Amino acid sequence: MARMTEGQLERRGRLAYEVGRAAGASQVLLLVLPVLLAARLLQRPTGLVLGVGALLTVLGFGLAMLHDRYARAVMAGVLSAVPALALPVLFWSLGIVRVGNAAVDPCIPATFVSGVVAGAFVSARAVDQEHRLSYWLAAIVAAGLTGALGCTVVGDVGVLGLLAGLAAGTLPVLVRSALRRG
């Protein structure tokens, strides 16, 4: 290795550090890519999987590169939204369910309930973190994107159901945490 000045060495060291972090951050893809593959196997449209998948991949990798806490947040967000990806699609395959005289589409309640599960899960983890808000934001965005892959099976209403579920799942955890701290 050519002899370097201290300034050059510091810059080269920083570059080596960033390369090392990128290698570590790519581990997030070990979770994100199988989830995208699962979405394709659940017959989700290729365009949707590619578009949302690209966003999720770039976001996950970028956040993991930034800090370990965001890598953990993305992992938690993606994992929490696996039910939101799978349940609406599975219910969609059942079709309209008849309860007495009424015809019920189980997909929209499924998007809401899986959103509640994801929201409660990431919020419960976020309240234990030192940087709660940034962790929660990273996790909830990752959960929203992952869940959207499945919830769009019923169109925009499914996404709205998911978002409402995420909010409904988050709120009680935040209130409880605030009461405990207060």
Partner 1 sequence: MDTRQRAQIQHDLTALAAGERSAYRSVFATLWPLLRRFCERSLRDPDLAQDAAQTALMKLFLHAAEFEPDRDAVAWALAFAAFECRTVRNRAAGRREEPDEAVLATVPAGAPSPEDATLEADLHRAAEEILGQLRPRDAETLRAALAGSRPTGSVVFRKRLQRALERLRVAWRHTHGSHD
Q: Taking a C-beta distance cutoff of 8 angstroms, is the pair 30, 77 a contact?
A: no
53 contact partners, CB below 8 Å, separation of at least 6: 32, 36, 39, 149
Question: Contact between 180 and partner 1 (CB under 8 A)?
Answer: no
CA distances from 157 to 110, 143, 162, 163, 164 (A): 12, 17, 9, 10, 10
Show the tokens assigned to 68: 């370990």
Crossing angle for the helix pair 68-80 and 107-126, nearest 10 degrees?
150
Stretch that binds partner 1, among 8-16, 89-97, 113-121, 157-165 (CB under 8 A): 8-16
Stretch that binds partner 1, among 10-18, 88-96, 134-142, 156-164 (CB under 8 A): 10-18
Question: Contact between 30 and partner 1 (CB under 8 A)?
Answer: no
Cβ nearer to partner 1, comparing 30 with 96: 30
Work out how close the CB of 72 gets to partner 1 at its nearest, in angstroms, rounded to a whole number. Answer: 10
Question: Contact between 156 and partner 1 (CB under 8 A)?
Answer: no
Q: Tell me which amino acid residue 4 is.
A: M
Stretch that binds partner 1, among 5-13, 77-85, 110-118, 147-155 (CB under 8 A): 5-13
Contacts (CB under 8 A) with partner 1, residues 53-112: 65-70
CA distances from 49 to 31, 113, 129 (A): 15, 22, 31
Residue ranges that bind partner 1, judged by CB under 8 A: 1, 3-4, 6, 9-10, 12-14, 16-17, 19-21, 23-24, 65-70
